[in-house]
Amino acid sequence: MSAEFWAAALTALWTGVITSVSPCPLATNLAALTYISGHSGSHRLAVLAHGGLYALGRALAYAVIGFLLVKSLLSAPSFSFFMQKYGGQALSPILVLAGMYMLGMLGRGFAGFNFFDPSKFKVKAGALSSLFMGVIFALVFCPVSAALYFGVIIPLAARNAAPFSLPLLYGLGTALPVIGTAVALDLGLKRLSAVTGLAGKFERYARPATGWVFVAAGVYLGLRDIFGIV
Amino acid sequence: MWRALSVLLLSFVFAAVYNIASARLKTAPAPAGAAAAAAQQVRPAAKPAAEIRTAAKTAVVYYFYTNTRCSSCKAIEAYTKEAVEKNFTAGHKGWKVAFKGVNVDEEPDKHFTADYRLNSKSVVVQKFAGDKALNWGKLEKVWQLLGDKSAFIAYVTDETRRLLDEK
């Protein structure tokens, strides 16, 4: 690997971090953060594992899109504007319904959003939900993520003949601030539990808190991208 | 209370889905005949603002946006406008420079997306000799410099001057 490739790899990772800390993806970042943090205490490494899966989901989504774009199987301008316009719009009702499900608003018999059920993380089958969430959230392009991904990462990937690896690193970068915050929160909560003896308290409130954050994020995206109010 | 909240949120979801569906129907492609007629009226790749079209050497610093606005997008527009008004009021080596905001979601201006291969809200400098479009440049770093207003303005100014100095 040449020095130029390593420089490009570092640029891709750092651009991902920059994207993630900009104000626009805040709604989805907060939803992901509460969702991942909701597993604090369920297992020693649960937060890290689900953070990793979330990052992998984001990375895979960007890598697949990057590959299709660099191989000219997709038109960057039309795909970018389509995803910016409809990504947030489509996610809004999904987030509200998923949040309502977590809060038990959809009735006891309703099982359509089991995929978003944090309690399922305690069994192996639920692990896919973090990966799935990463893929979905990556597809919601904000103006800043679209500008940096399509304007910086894709040309960089094409120039370095790395249509898969550089978008993949960008995707990992976009997840790093969320994972870092979730892990720090997890360590803090564990320490707090050890000191105060309130182990298990957080878990009891994690599910409704995640549900409310999902509802809030969904309503915010709807007001912004569908109704144009905020 | 809980039930009322559930009904309210479900109403929001239905209203959101209805809005998306009706917006999609409104923007569905026109019939083939209408599309062919429209194709004959396609505007040239890029035109300067009418008021400066008569000048021999002109440049337009475009800010392209969509119906969905955001605080960062508004900042890019304001900084770019400020850069042009602050540094190009007297022009540059015989070039008259103007700022123009264009909504690419509006029907007559949709072609700019393909013309300049836009991916997001963007700043593009386009040179003209009279009505004839010359070379242009997309200012890719505007999103990266957004956090530093003075660096942003310096970047827009330098890139515009560089493009104007090019043959």
Residue A190's CB is within 10 A of a number of other CB atoms, namely 16
CA distance A88 to chain B (A): 11
Give rounded-to-5 percent helix, strand, coil for chain A.
80, 0, 20
Nearest to A174, CA basis, from A14, A16, A13: A16
Q: Are strands B132-138 and B122-129 parallel, antiparallel or unpaired?
A: antiparallel
CB contact under 8 A, A150 and B9: no
Are the beta carbons of A89 and B16 separated by less than 8 Å? yes
Q: Please report the pLDDT score of residue B61 as a whole number.
A: 96
Q: How far is residue A20's CA from residue A12's CA, in Å, rounded to a whole number? A: 12
Nearest residue of B to residue A75, measured between CA atoms? B117
pLDDT-based confidence at residue A47 (cuts at 50, 70, 90): confident
**Chain A nearest CA to B55, separation (Å):** 32
Q: How far is B4 from chain A (nearest CA, A)?
A: 10
Which pLDDT score, from 0 to 100, does residue A89 have? 87
Task: Determine how many CB atoms are found less than 10 A away from the CB of residue B17.
Answer: 16
Amino acid A42: pLDDT: 65
- Binary contact (A143, B121; C-beta < 8 A): yes
Encode pLDDT of A161-198 as tens digits.
888 899 999 999 999 998 888 888 888 877 777 676 66
Q: Do A18 and B144 count as a contact with CB atoms less than 8 A apart?
A: yes
Residue closest to B131 by CA, chosen among B62, B40, B56, B51: B56
Q: What are phi and psi of B136, to 5 degrees?
A: -145, 165
**CA-CA distance, B70 to B74, in Å (whole number)?**
6
A:B CB pairs within 8 Å:
98
- Nearest by CB to A77, which of B73, B114, B144? B114
B113 contacts on A by Cβ (under 8 Å): 77-78, 81
- With a cut of 90, say whether residue A98 has pLDDT above it: no
Verify whether the Cβ–Cβ distance B68 to A224 is below 8 Å. yes
- The end-to-end CA distance of chain B, in Å, is 70
CB A220 within 8 A of CB A31: no
Which residues of A are less than 8 Å from B121 in CB distance?
A: 143, 147
Average pLDDT over residues A59-69: 91
The band of A110, judged by pLDDT with boundaries at 50, 70 and 90, is low
Q: Can you give the pLDDT at residue A215?
A: 92
C-alpha neighbours within 13 Å on the C-beta side of residue B29: 6
The Cα of A185 is separated from the nearest Cα of chain B by a number of Å equal to: 27
Range of weakest confidence among A72-86, A144-158, B15-29, B38-52: B38-52
Q: For the beta carbon of residue A56, count every other beta carbon within 10 angstroms.
A: 18
Q: Looking at residue A123, what is its pLDDT?
A: 46
In the three-class reduction of DSSP (H, G, I as helix; E, B as strand; rest coil), residue B157 is classed as helix
A84 vs B66: CB contact, 8 Å cut-off? yes
**CA–CA separation, A157 and A165 (whole Å):** 8
- How does DSSP assign A55-94, residue by residue? HHHHHHHHHHHHHHHHTTSS-HHHHHHHHHHHHHHHHHHH
pLDDT given for residue A73 in this prediction: 67
CB B133 within 8 A of CB B46: yes
- The predicted pLDDT at position B63 comes to 95
Tell me if A143 and B140 make a contact (CB, 8 A cut-off): no
Q: What is the pLDDT of residue B88?
A: 92
Residue A125 pLDDT > 70, yes or no?
no
What is the 8-class DSSP label of residue B15? H
pLDDT given at position B28: 54
Q: Residue B9 is nearest to which of A23, A78, A215, comparing CB atoms?
A: A215
Single-letter code of the amino acid located at A109: G
Distance CA B119, CA A191 (A): 45
Number of neighbours of residue A47 by Cβ within 10 angstroms: 26
Integer angstrom CA distances of residue A174 from A48, A106, B81, B107: 16, 32, 30, 34
Q: Where residue A210 falls among pLDDT bands split at 50, 70, 90?
A: confident
Tell me what pLDDT residue A143 has.
Answer: 85
Task: Kindly give the residue spans of alpha helices, DSSP state H, lying in chain B.
Answer: 2-26, 32-39, 71-87, 111-115, 149-165
pLDDT, position A3: 82
pLDDT at site A208: 83
Q: Which of 11-30 (A) contact B at CB < 8 A?
A: 18, 22-24
Compute the residue count for chain B. 167
Query: From the CA of A121, how many Å to the nearest CA of chain B?
Result: 26
In angstroms, the CA B21 to CA B101 distance is 29
Percentage with pLDDT > 70 across chain A:
83
Average pLDDT over chain A, rounded to whole? 82
Residues A77, B5: C-beta atoms closer than 8 Å: no
Per-residue confidence (pLDDT) for residue A64, from 0 to 100: 92
Query: How close B20 gets to chain A, by Cα (Å)?
Result: 7
Give residue A37's pLDDT band: very low, low, confident or very high (50, 70, 90): confident
Spatial separation of the C-alpha atoms in residues A174 and A152, rounded to whole Å: 14
Residue B50's pLDDT is 53
Residue B164, Ramachandran bin (φ over 0: left; ψ between -120 and 50: alpha; else beta):
alpha
Q: What is the mean pLDDT of residues A93-121?
A: 71
CB-CB: which of A81, A141, A226 is closest to B113?
A81
Q: What is the mean pLDDT of each run of 10 residues along chain B (167 residues)?
A: 86 90 66 40 47 70 88 90 93 92 90 89 92 90 90 95 90
Q: Collect all residues of chain A within an 8 Å Cβ-Cβ radius of residue B138.
A: 151
Residue B5 CB contacts under 8 Å (≥ 6 apart), including other chains: A105
